[in-house]
């Protein structure tokens, strides 16, 4: 009986650890950039599409998992930090430091990059997200600029800035379509 109880506790512990590790961090809580580690995959929120790196991380390959994991498209290079649309056509790559930028940032530093089937649509610099750079919150080694919220609809991608703005992008064009006030906490 004692072994059986231990087994159940052990199984529950493994399940908990597996679940805890499966959540994708969106916001660095401390003054350290997010390190994605062994998470070499980007899934659409509906889990139908999956982006994986090729050997050596030289290419990104997107698969449709509903059709025996059929390859849909590919593009040069791999980046752990991004989101894949639910139709599998669009990839949004974001700053690997997520909500943090280096102290020596440049206004043209790319925060978001929108791709359609591997073709770059548009890059979004930090200067488009932040109007007044004095509003950035400095920590020991970085500035906090806001956070990536991700997809809010099929072709809408949201970011929330430290200036209290919710900016929605149309991923088919890479252009902002909404810029609404939203209190920063």
Task: Kindly report, residue by residue over 41-64, the tens digit of the pLDDT.
Answer: 999 999 999 999 999 999 999 999
Residue 175 pLDDT: 98
The neighbour count for residue 165, using CB atoms within 10 Å, is: 19
Q: What is the chain's mean pLDDT, rounded? A: 83
More confident residue, 177 or 66: 177
The pLDDT tens digits of the residues spanning 100-159 come to 999 999 999 999 999 999 999 999 999 999 999 999 999 999 999 999 999 999 999 999
Q: Which CATH number is 26-181 given?
A: 2.40.128
Q: C-alpha 78: how far from its chain's center?
A: 13
Residue 137 pLDDT: 95
Residue 31 pLDDT: 46
| pLDDT tier at 39, thresholds 50, 70, 90 | low
CA distance 135 to 133: 5
Tokens of 5: 């109880």
The pLDDT tens digits of the residues spanning 60-106 come to 999 999 878 899 999 999 988 999 999 999 999 998 888 999 999 99
Residue 184 pLDDT: 83
7 pLDDT higher than 70: no
Residue 25 pLDDT: 44
CA distance 80 to 34: 11
Sign of CA dihedral 113, 161, 125, 144: negative
């Amino acid at each position: 009986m004692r072994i059986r109880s231990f087994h159940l506790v052990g199984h529950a512990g493994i399940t908990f650890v597996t679940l805890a590790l499966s959540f994708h961090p969106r916001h660095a809580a401390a003054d350290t950039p997010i390190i994605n580690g062994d998470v070499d995959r980007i899934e659409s929120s509906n889990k139908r599409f999956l982006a994986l790196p090729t050997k050596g991380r030289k290419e990104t390959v997107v698969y449709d998992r509903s059709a025996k994991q059929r390859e849909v498209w590919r593009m040069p290079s791999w980046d752990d930090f991004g989101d894949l649309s639910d139709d599998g056509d669009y990839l949004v790559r974001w700053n690997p430091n997520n909500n943090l930028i280096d102290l020596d940032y440049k206004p043209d530093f790319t925060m978001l990059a929108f791709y359609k089937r591997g073709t770059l649509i548009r890059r979004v610099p930090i200067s488009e997200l932040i109007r007044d750079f004095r509003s950035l919150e400095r920590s020991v080694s970085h500035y906090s600029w806001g956070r990536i919220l991700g997809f809010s609809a099929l072709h809408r991608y949201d970011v929330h800035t430290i200036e209290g703005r919710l900016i929605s992008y149309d991923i088919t064009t890479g252009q902002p379509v909404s810029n609404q006030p939203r209190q920063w906490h």
